[in-house]
Chain A
Amino acid sequence: MSKKIMAVDDSASVRQVQKFVLSSAGFEVLEAKDGKEALARLTTTPVNLILTDLNMPNLDGLGLIRGVRASAVNRLTPIIMITTESDDAKKREGKAAGATGWIVKPFTPDQLLAVVKKVLG
C-alpha cells in the first residue's frame, strides 16, 4: 500500500506541485488548505507523513504541529515544515513544537523528495 502524505498549504499551486511530485513518486497525497482543515482530518485519518506550510490562515503551521502532537492518531507521525530562508526563528519554534524536519522554500521536486525520503527512512 502506498504511503499517505498530507500536504498542507494555503497556496493551491504549491499543493498542486507537491501532489504532482509526490504522487509521481508513488505516494498517496491528501490536501488541506490550512491548519484547521488539516488538523480536523488528521485527528481521524492516520497518515505516514505531514508536509505543512508555516504561514497559513485559520491555524498556522506551528498550531497544526502542536495539535497533531497532542492528538491520538498522528501523534508520532513525521512532520516536515516548509519554511523560507528568512524563517530561522520559526524553524526552531517548529522543531521545538515537534516538527521532524523542514524544507526551505523554494525547493525543487528533487529536494522535496529527498527530504520526504529522509524523514520516512
Chain B
Amino acid sequence: MSALDTSQFAATYREEASELLGDLETSLLELESRPDDEDLVARVFRALHTIKGSGAMFGFNDIAAFTHALETAFDEVRQGHIPASREIVSLALEGKDLIRAMLEGDADLGKEARERVITALQQITSPAHAAPKSPPPAPKPPEEPARTYRVTFRPNHDILQDGTNPLGLFPELLELGRGEVTATTADVPKLEDIEPEHCYLSWDAIVTTSRGMGAVRDVFIFVEDRGALEVRVVDDGTETGDYKRLGEILVDRGQLSGEALDSALAARPKLGAILEEKGLASREAVAAALKEQQIVRSARADRAKAAQHDGQSVRVPAEKLDALVDLVGELVIAEARLRQVAARCDDPELFTISEDVERLSAELRDNTLNLRMVQIGSTFNRFKRLVRDLSGELSKQIELVTEGAETELDKTVIERLGDPLVHIIRNSCDHGIESPAVREASKKPATGTVTLKAYQSGPNVVIEIQDDGAGLNPEAIREKAVARGLIEADAKLSEHDLYQLIFVAGFSTASAVSALSGRGVGMDVVKRSVEALRGSIELESRRGLGTTIRIKLPLTLAIIDGLLVSVGDGRYVLPMSLVEECVEITKEGVDQAHGSHLVPVRGELVPYLRLREWFREGGDRPPIEQVAIASAEGMRLGFAVDDVIGQQQTVIKTLGKMYGDTEGLSGATILGDGTVALIVDVAGVIRTLTTSSPPPV
C-alpha cells in the first residue's frame, strides 16, 4: 500500500484548530460563571478532544501530547470526579494560549510553561487517572519461527447484525501465511427454518505463519465478543517428528470420541506405518505411495460415483408407465378445463392457480413422457444377428455398422419400428448389396456395408438405413411401374419421384422373390407402419453408389401439438407438425372459382377439401372459411373449416375397434370442456384422395 501524504491538510488543521480554540475560550469563560453546566463541560472536552486527535493525525505531536493532558483533566470533570474549579479553568485558558502559540510558531517556545501546566493539572486530577496515558507504541513483534495454528471460530448466530462479514476474516487470516479454511455447515437448518440474517456457519482454519499468535488473534479482534474463538498452536515450528494421526487430530479437536477412535483403530494397523517403522520402506516412498493411492482412489471414487449414477435405475413394468402416461393425459385434459373455467370466472386468484397447474402439468407431462424414452441401441443389436445370417444365406459379405445407439425414442415407437426396420435391412442386403464378384468388378470392397444410424433432429428422431450397394435402377422402376399400371408409359417423373414409387402398394423391384424378403410384403407396408407412428419415410439412391432410406419419427406418440378447428358443432384436431399455415376463403372467392377446390397460397394453387363434406357435418358454411394448409405424402392439401380455435396439447386417445378403421381419422381427444374432438389423419386423407380418384386419363 502506498503511503498517502496527508501533510497537505496541515493548513486545514491549523484553521480548524484555531476555530476550536476560539470556541474553547468562549466555553471556558462561560464555564467560569456556570461551573455546573454539563453542556459547557462537554463542549470544552470535545474541543480539546478534536484538537488532540486531529493534531496527532497531521503530525502536530506536541500539540496532541499537551492537549491530551487538558483533555484528561476535563474528562474527569465531565465524569464528575472533580469540579470545574476556577483553578482548572485558568489552567485550561493558559493551555489554550499555549496551543495557539504552538499552532502558529515554534513548538519549543513555551515548553517550560506547558510542563508547568501539565504538572499542575496532574495534581488536580485523581491519581488513578493522572498516570500518563501514553502507552509506548507496541513494538513490532520480533520475527518468530513459523508456527502452525489451528483456529476455530464459531460465531454467534447474530454476528451479521453488527455489519460483520465473517467471510472477510479468512482471506485476511491467510494473508499471514499458508493455510486452509474449512467451513462447517452442519448447523445450517432446513431452508424453511433459515433466518436470513443469521449466520449458521462456523470455521476451522489451519495457518502457518511466523507473525505470532497475536497477529492471528488480531484478525478476529472485532469479532471476539461475537462468537467463540480458539487459537491453538498445533505445530510450534521446532518439532521435526511425525505429526498426529488423523484419528488423534479428530479427537484433539473434539470431533471424535476416544472410544470411537479406539474401536476404529482396533481393526488393524496401517501397512504403511509398519513398513516405515521396520525400515522396509522409506517414509517418502510410503508417502508417495499413499499419495498415489489417494489420487487413484479419488479418481476411482469419481468413476464409481458416475457409474453408480448411470446404473441407478429402477425396472418398472411397461404397463405401469403406460398407465402413468394415461393419467398424465387425463391431467392435461382436466387442466385445460380448469384453464377455461378460470378464464371465464375472472377471478385473479383462480387464474393464478390455473397458471400454476398448467405449468406443473406441462412439466409432469414432459417428465412422464421422458420416462418412456428408451435407447434405440437394443433394437439395433438384433439387426447384427440378422445381417450376419443374411450374409451367409445370400453368399454375400455384409457388415452392419450402427451409429447413434444412444438416441432415445418412445418405447412404443421403438417396439413398432422393429418390423419395418427388419424389412428395410433385408431389402438392403437382398437387393442393395451386390455379390462379392460384382462388387470387385466395379472396384468396390468385397464386403458391403449397411449403416444403421439414428439421431435426433428437432422434435423428431431420424433413422437412416444406408447401403453401399448398386442403388436403384430408375429405368427398371419405371418399366415395372408402367407394367403394373401405377403410372402412364409417357408420365414424366423425376428420378426422385420414380424412387418413391417403390413405396406404392404392389410394387416390388426384386425379379425373384427371395425366401428372406418374404412374399407379398412390399415397401408400402413399411411406409404404412411408419406413418402409423406419425412418421414419414423417404428414399434417396445413386446408381452404383447405394441407397439411403430415411425414416423421420416423432419423439413420442401419446401427446401431440394439435390445431383445434371447428366445423358446425364438431371439433377436429389437425396435427400441428403437418400444418403449414392458415388462409381464408370468402364466399365470393369460392363463387369465382367455379366449383374448383383450389385456394391460392403465396402464388400457388393448393387443392382443398371441406371437412364439413368429408365428415358429413350438417349446417351451413360461414361466409368466410378458414383453410388450414397441411402437407403430407409429398403434397399440400387445404382443409376448409368454419373456424380455427387455436393450438393445444392434444392427448391422443385411440378410437377403439368400432371406429378404428374410419377413413380420415387417426384418433380422438377430450377437450377442456369435456367434449370430444376427432384427430384428422391428414396423410390418410391425402392417400385416399390420390389413390381412389386417379387423375382422368
Q: Give residues in A with beta carbon < 8 Å to B.
A: 10-14, 16-17, 20-21, 24, 53, 55-57, 69, 76-79, 82, 84-86, 95, 98-102, 105-110, 113-114, 118-121
A-B CB contact pairs (8 Å), 16 listed = A10-B50, A12-B16, A13-B12, A14-B50, A20-B9, A78-B162, A78-B163, A85-B134, A85-B135, A100-B163, A105-B53, A109-B6, A110-B4, A118-B168, A118-B222, A119-B164
Which A residues are CB-close (under 8 A) to B221? 101
**Closest Cβ–Cβ distance, residue A9 to chain B (whole Å):** 8
A100–B1 CA distance with the chains assembled, in angstroms: 23
Q: Are A21 and B6 in contact (CB under 8 A)?
A: yes
Give the tally of cross-chain contacts (CB within 8 A).
113
Given contacts A17-B6, A56-B46, A100-B162, contact A106 B64 (CB under 8 A): yes
Q: Are B165 and A105 in contact (CB under 8 A)?
A: no
- Name B172's contact: one of A85, A99, A107, A118 (CB within 8 Å): A118
Q: Are B163 and A77 in contact (CB under 8 A)?
A: yes
A98–B12 CA distance with the chains assembled, in angstroms: 32
Q: Are A21 and B49 in contact (CB under 8 A)?
A: no
A49 to chain B: closest residue by CB? B163
A113–B225 CA distance with the chains assembled, in angstroms: 23
Given contacts A10-B46, A13-B16, A20-B4, contact A106 B57 (CB under 8 A): yes
- Name B45's contact: one of A55, A78, A79, A85 (CB within 8 Å): A55
A76–B197 CA distance with the chains assembled, in angstroms: 9
Given contacts A57-B46, A100-B222, A101-B222, contact A113 B165 (CB under 8 A): no
**Closest Cβ–Cβ distance, residue B99 to chain A (whole Å):** 15
Is B167 an interface residue, CB under 8 A from the partner?
A: yes
Which B residues are CB-close (under 8 A) to A120? 165, 168
Is B56 an interface residue, CB under 8 A from the partner?
A: yes
Given contacts A13-B54, A86-B75, A100-B222, contact A119 B43 (CB under 8 A): no
**Closest Cβ–Cβ distance, residue B282 to chain A (whole Å):** 45
A109–B5 CA distance with the chains assembled, in angstroms: 8
**Closest Cβ–Cβ distance, residue B210 to chain A (whole Å):** 19
Which B residues are CB-close (under 8 A) to A56? 46
Given contacts A76-B163, A99-B162, A100-B222, contact A85 B133 (CB under 8 A): yes
Is B294 an interface residue, CB under 8 A from the partner?
A: no
Q: Are B162 and A14 in contact (CB under 8 A)?
A: no
**Closest Cβ–Cβ distance, residue A50 to chain B (whole Å):** 8
Which B residues are CB-close (under 8 A) to A55? 45-46, 49-50
Which A residues are CB-close (under 8 A) to B50? 10-11, 14, 55
A5–B697 CA distance with the chains assembled, in angstroms: 93
Interface of B is mostly: helix
**Closest Cβ–Cβ distance, residue A41 to chain B (whole Å):** 17
**Closest Cβ–Cβ distance, residue B457 to chain A (whole Å):** 46
Which B residues are CB-close (under 8 A) to A77? 163
Is B514 an interface residue, CB under 8 A from the partner?
A: no
A69–B369 CA distance with the chains assembled, in angstroms: 54
**Closest Cβ–Cβ distance, residue B19 to chain A (whole Å):** 9
Q: Are A11 and B54 in contact (CB under 8 A)?
A: yes
Query: Chain B 133-160, CB within 8 Å of chain A: the 1/0 string?
Result: 1110000000000000000000000001
**Closest Cβ–Cβ distance, residue B53 to chain A (whole Å):** 4
- Name A14's contact: one of B53, B161, B164 (CB within 8 Å): B53
Which residues of B442-468 are within 8 A (CB) of A?
none
With A85-B135, A98-B161, A110-B3 given, name 17 new contacts (CB 8 A): A10-B50, A13-B13, A13-B15, A14-B57, A17-B6, A17-B57, A20-B4, A55-B45, A56-B46, A78-B162, A78-B163, A86-B75, A95-B162, A101-B164, A107-B57, A113-B1, A121-B171
**Closest Cβ–Cβ distance, residue A47 to chain B (whole Å):** 11
Given contacts A16-B9, A17-B57, contact A121 B168 (CB under 8 A): yes
Is B72 an interface residue, CB under 8 A from the partner?
A: yes
Which A residues are CB-close (under 8 A) to B56? 105-106
Instruction: Count residues of chain B with CB under 8 A from any CB of chain A.
Output: 45
Which A residues are CB-close (under 8 A) to B45? 55
Which A residues are CB-close (under 8 A) to B172? 118
Q: Which of A11, A55, A84, A108 has the most CB of B within 10 A?
A: A11
**Closest Cβ–Cβ distance, residue A12 to chain B (whole Å):** 5
Which A residues are CB-close (under 8 A) to B54? 11, 13-14
B164 to chain A: closest residue by CB? A100
Q: Are B163 and A119 in contact (CB under 8 A)?
A: yes
Which B residues are CB-close (under 8 A) to A99? 162
Which B residues are CB-close (under 8 A) to A86? 68, 71-72, 75, 133
Q: Are A11 and B53 in contact (CB under 8 A)?
A: yes
Which A residues are CB-close (under 8 A) to B167? 121
Q: Are B43 and A57 in contact (CB under 8 A)?
A: yes
Q: Are B16 and A121 in contact (CB under 8 A)?
A: no
A79–B162 CA distance with the chains assembled, in angstroms: 8
Given contacts A55-B45, A119-B168, contact A24 B4 (CB under 8 A): yes
Q: Which of B1, B15, B222 has the most CB of A within 10 A?
A: B222
Which A residues are CB-close (under 8 A) to B351? none
Is B503 an interface residue, CB under 8 A from the partner?
A: no
Q: Are B165 and A11 in contact (CB under 8 A)?
A: no
Which A residues are CB-close (under 8 A) to B225? 95
Is B507 an interface residue, CB under 8 A from the partner?
A: no
A24–B6 CA distance with the chains assembled, in angstroms: 12
- Name B6's contact: one of A20, A53, A100, A101 (CB within 8 Å): A20
A106–B61 CA distance with the chains assembled, in angstroms: 10
B57 to chain A: closest residue by CB? A106
Q: Are A78 and B164 in contact (CB under 8 A)?
A: yes
Is B66 an interface residue, CB under 8 A from the partner?
A: no
**Closest Cβ–Cβ distance, residue B605 to chain A (whole Å):** 64
Given contacts A100-B222, A109-B6, contact A76 B161 (CB under 8 A): yes
A106–B225 CA distance with the chains assembled, in angstroms: 24
Which A residues are CB-close (under 8 A) to B16? 11-13
In order of increasing CB-CB distance, the 10 nearest A-B pairs are: A121-B168, A106-B56, A78-B163, A101-B222, A121-B165, A109-B4, A100-B163, A13-B13, A105-B53, A106-B57
B64 to chain A: closest residue by CB? A106
Q: Are A110 and B161 in contact (CB under 8 A)?
A: no
Is B58 an interface residue, CB under 8 A from the partner?
A: yes
A17–B172 CA distance with the chains assembled, in angstroms: 25
Given contacts A20-B4, A95-B225, A101-B222, contact A106 B163 (CB under 8 A): no
**Closest Cβ–Cβ distance, residue A26 to chain B (whole Å):** 13
Query: Chain B 55-84, CB within 8 Å of chain A: the 1/0 string?
Result: 111100000100010011001000000000
